[in-house]
Chains A and B, each alone.
Chain A
């Protein structure tokens, strides 16, 4: 019963909240969409924490997404032992990088009076969830080896079953508790995301790459003005 709630209902609830609240907040005036950067108040410690965390977590997320999109290819790739070893070590390295970065960021937030002044309860909450998520992820990588392979073969089918709206909780029933924690915590993060500063990752400024350098906006219709004499 609890499996049903945690692995078949919770994901949909979380995704529903994520999408609806994010869209509502974005289109209902997106004033609050900001990275809420605190670099202006403390710059030096932020470098190690922020850089390690962001690059680490982005690579780890990329790994998860690749495994989800191309499970067969990942398994084929990992069939040669040295390649599997490369996958495993790089995943663990980036995971550790994210963990170290996150710990540094938490320490910075806790120890600096200026940063505490701009810390909200929601910040503490999301940091806690992220800490659990990354720690459990690194824990899984250490305790349950060759995650790339069993993730692609055993967990991806479950995740895919969610996407085709036929959740197959039988696939997760036998998973170790650490993996279950990782999954449930991920859903919690997803659901809480639109209420936190984490929304900044939904508005990554990719369009910067192709937009023109300068932006000029007219407040009135230039053609119309021309006709007024």
Chain B
């Protein structure tokens, strides 16, 4: 057993309202500077939708992540010889237009325009060329376009649905959408790292944060296509790749990452997970429908004496083990089995987990009356507006049973709380036992979901390098700073 610790993240999608406050917090902290204008280390996309960059889930084009290859897993697009062969031209690289060309407006024109009959307008200007441009896409371009043929219907996840199911999904009365906030998953088997020819990307042993060493990065850009989530970005100005750093300067000084701290819906949780690094290869190679289960299995019980001993022997500090015992992520992922990784079939073992949304269930209507009997509450999961198949394509590599299990649990908690607060439902026991919950656990789930204060949602372990931050540049001193690393300013030759 090779026990390592990982600072893990959980997004509770049932609570996400799609307000983009997280994206703005991240943008203001890290990517408001030349070459990074188009980057959204944190973005929120509407699903069904194409996402950012355009159709990032289509691995036939971008060839990100790993694929099963005999007894091993191998990189889908890059790899040692293929990567070096394509170093002069990476055929799978997303280009600026797959994201959007960053722009600003000529606001000055509004003031300097001569008096005339028409309102003056501020023309759009490209932030790359400085020339006037026509805006064809922008951040959140497909925001809330649940039914649009241009965006929603081009969602790669719909490929798992039959034509009939797709048509049903887009009936006007049934139109549905959900929000999917995304940051770097800080994977256990990161394919960006494995595709980097220079060895500039690395995973931190003590907390599992995946970082790009800006001094070692040579701009071979294999990581950009290698990451199946498209969460490594190429800075076109400095010629280096950049990515979400889980606000490590904040975490090291005990603060909550910016996107999470600013979350209005309080959907975000952060805590330590202990895992067995010896199992990485095995789990990455698991059969598709067993991926989620295998992933869960490699996460270790921080209360188990054997695990604690092995963790200590491996240099995991006692304070980190203690932190793991209080981790809200552990509860959702392992204890309650309610949180799932995004697209586990990419085999990177992402360490950001999602509680899928229990979207408004379609009420059963009979003779113009909604059926609110006990039975109806539970059976309607099958008829949820967003097909289970669709959620399975996102969160369980197509395994619908896994999704059903989670949704039923969430429903059971709701029924239980309905009984507690309103008292008009009697089928509570059946609902709870069917998914293996007790009223006590259901209350715990309810508490952590709905009531938990800041300190319970974010359990940050001491970094044991509190002074290290003083060696780096003060973050947030001035606009345009990289905000991390030592003091050399980015510039081109």
Chain A residues packing against B (C-beta within 8 Å): 29-43, 46-47, 50-51, 53-55, 113-114, 116-118, 120, 122-123, 195-197, 199-200, 203, 205, 207-209, 211, 213-220, 222-223, 225-226, 228-229
* Bound-complex Cα distance A195 to B84 (A): 25
* Bound-complex Cα distance A125 to B240 (A): 23
CB-based contact A215/B193 at 8 Å: yes
Partner among A43, A116, A228 whose Cβ is within 8 Å of the Cβ of B95: A43
* Bound-complex Cα distance A200 to B197 (A): 13
B465 an interface residue at 8 Å Cβ cutoff? yes
> Helix, strand, loop or mixed for chain B's interface?
loop
* Bound-complex Cα distance A34 to B219 (A): 5
Residues in A neighbouring B314, C-beta threshold 8 A: 222
Residues in A neighbouring B89, C-beta threshold 8 A: 39, 43, 46-47, 50-51
Residues in B neighbouring A199, C-beta threshold 8 A: 493
* Bound-complex Cα distance A200 to B83 (A): 16
- CB proximity of A119 to chain B, nearest CB, Å: 9
Residues in B neighbouring A34, C-beta threshold 8 A: 217-219, 238-240
Contact status of A31 and B488, CB under 8 A, knowing A51-B89, A214-B193, A217-B202: yes
B131 an interface residue at 8 Å Cβ cutoff? yes
Residues in A neighbouring B372, C-beta threshold 8 A: none
Interface set, chain B 469-492, CB cutoff 8 A to A: 486, 488, 490-492
- CB proximity of A199 to chain B, nearest CB, Å: 8
CB-based contact A35/B218 at 8 Å: yes
- CB proximity of B212 to chain A, nearest CB, Å: 11
- CB proximity of A70 to chain B, nearest CB, Å: 26
CB-CB nearest in chain A for B205: A218
CB-based contact A32/B80 at 8 Å: no
Interface set, chain B 293-327, CB cutoff 8 A to A: 312-315, 317-318
- CB proximity of B24 to chain A, nearest CB, Å: 24
Partner among B202, B240, B315, B464 whose Cβ is within 8 Å of the Cβ of A215: B202
CB-based contact B88/A54 at 8 Å: yes
- CB proximity of B76 to chain A, nearest CB, Å: 14
Residues in A neighbouring B313, C-beta threshold 8 A: 226
Residues in A neighbouring B317, C-beta threshold 8 A: 225, 228
CB-CB nearest in chain B for A47: B89
Contact status of A205 and B220, CB under 8 A, knowing A42-B95, A216-B205, A219-B205: yes
B130 an interface residue at 8 Å Cβ cutoff? yes
* Bound-complex Cα distance A215 to B468 (A): 21
* Bound-complex Cα distance A203 to B217 (A): 10
* Bound-complex Cα distance A117 to B83 (A): 28
CB-based contact A205/B205 at 8 Å: no
Partner among A55, A120, A195, A216 whose Cβ is within 8 Å of the Cβ of B203: A216
Best-buried of A54, A196, A219 by chain B (most CB within 10 Å): A219
CB-based contact B492/A120 at 8 Å: yes
Residues in A neighbouring B87, C-beta threshold 8 A: 205
26 sampled A-B residue pairs with Cβ under 8 A: A29-B486, A30-B215, A31-B488, A31-B490, A34-B240, A36-B492, A37-B220, A39-B89, A40-B234, A41-B236, A43-B89, A51-B88, A54-B88, A114-B129, A118-B236, A118-B237, A122-B493, A123-B493, A199-B493, A211-B199, A214-B189, A217-B202, A219-B205, A219-B206, A226-B315, A229-B318
